[in-house]
Amino acid sequence: MIEKSLKVAVAVPCQLGESPVWDDRQECLHFVDILSADIYSYYPADKSLKITSLDNPVGAIAPCQDGCFLAAMSTGIYRIALPQGDAKFLAQPEPHAPENRYNDGKVDPSGRFWIASMHTDEKEHRGAMYVLYPDLTFKKVLDETTISNGLDWDESQRRFYHVESDKASIRRFTYDSIQVGITDLKTVVTFDEDEGVPDGMTLDNEGMIWVAHFGGGCVTRRHPDTGEILAKIDLPVKQVTSCVFGGKQYNDLYITTAAKGLSDEELTNQPQAGYTFVLENLPYRGMKANKFIQIA
């Protein structure tokens, strides 16, 4: 157990808070509420909050080199200024699947955007994962997925980690940054039913996995080879969706949650469901978010 005090960072009850990203240029946390089609920008220095409202659900955001962000909306991938909200369409890897939306995504160490899709009703094997290149072409790297979630890279170990929530597992691949491929699948962790479901995740600078337990009410730090739990953070809400390190020293852990699907009784018992939390000054550090290479 980590001996630190959990604080509320943003007291807004998101239906499906997700995709937290620390912006080192604006020194703020951006995150999305997928079901409300909103992007939130939280500035810890003065505790202010700005909201960018969009026309379509946005599953993930990721920083670009020029200071803008990529936003994976249900209608495609856009380049967007935050918090102004000016958006420009870039690409649509799935024009053939209007019943899908994009879920989790991040930029790899080489500056390419990896983004996963899923069926809006979570139908099996309808999703895929794509890589968007700086020239706005893309390729499919995984097919017939159901609920793709957290992803991250350990470049020094040539490892790519990916959560399959429907299989309650965290998987590891060998990552080829030149060919932009993933091979040698190994399941690192399979969650027991009482642990909830693995959701969003991030790596710290020691290569350890931090993963949110949706339905399990916690975040755990796990060893990438054994799956052993090295640390645990309990939250006052059950539906924990993702986490990311931020702050000047990258030792503040921000955690998003969701109120989606909770009964009236559950909402009464979990009045902070959907809030975004922070655990400050941890003895662990994260890393800067990779940035999408400047678009010509």
Range of the domain at 121: 6-279
CA pair distance 208, 40, nearest whole angstrom: 27
Stretch (H or E) spanning 10: strand 6-10
Residue 281 known to bind ligand: no
Residues serving a catalytic function are 199
Asked, for residue 286, whether it belongs to a domain, the answer is no
* Average pLDDT, integer, range 95-123: 96
Asked, for residue 129, whether it belongs to a domain, the answer is yes
Residue 100 known to bind ligand: no
Output the pLDDT for position 84.
87
CA pair distance 2, 277, nearest whole angstrom: 15
Residue 18 known to bind ligand: yes
| E-state strands within 237-280 | 240-246, 252-257, 276-279
Asked, for residue 269, whether it belongs to a domain, the answer is yes
DSSP conformation class of 289: P
Asked, for residue 99, whether it belongs to a domain, the answer is yes
What 3-state DSSP class applies to 80? strand
Contact 176, 198 (CB under 8 A): no
> Residue 170 maps to which CATH number?
2.120.10.30
Helices (H), the chain: 264-269
Domain count along the chain: 1
The percent of residues in the chain predicted with pLDDT above 70, rounded, is: 99
Average pLDDT over the chain, rounded to an integer: 95
pLDDT digits (tens, 9 = 90+) for 185-220: 999 999 999 999 999 999 999 999 999 999 999 999
Residue 24 known to bind ligand: no
Asked, for residue 74, whether it belongs to a domain, the answer is yes
Asked, for residue 187, whether it belongs to a domain, the answer is yes
CA pair distance 201, 150, nearest whole angstrom: 5
Residue partners of 269: CB distance under 8 A and separation at least 6: none
Is a pLDDT exceeding 70 seen at residue 257? yes
Confidence of residue 178 (pLDDT cuts 50, 70, 90): confident
Confidence of residue 3 (pLDDT cuts 50, 70, 90): low
* Average pLDDT, integer, range 15-21: 98
Is a pLDDT exceeding 80 seen at residue 180? yes
Asked, for residue 289, whether it belongs to a domain, the answer is no
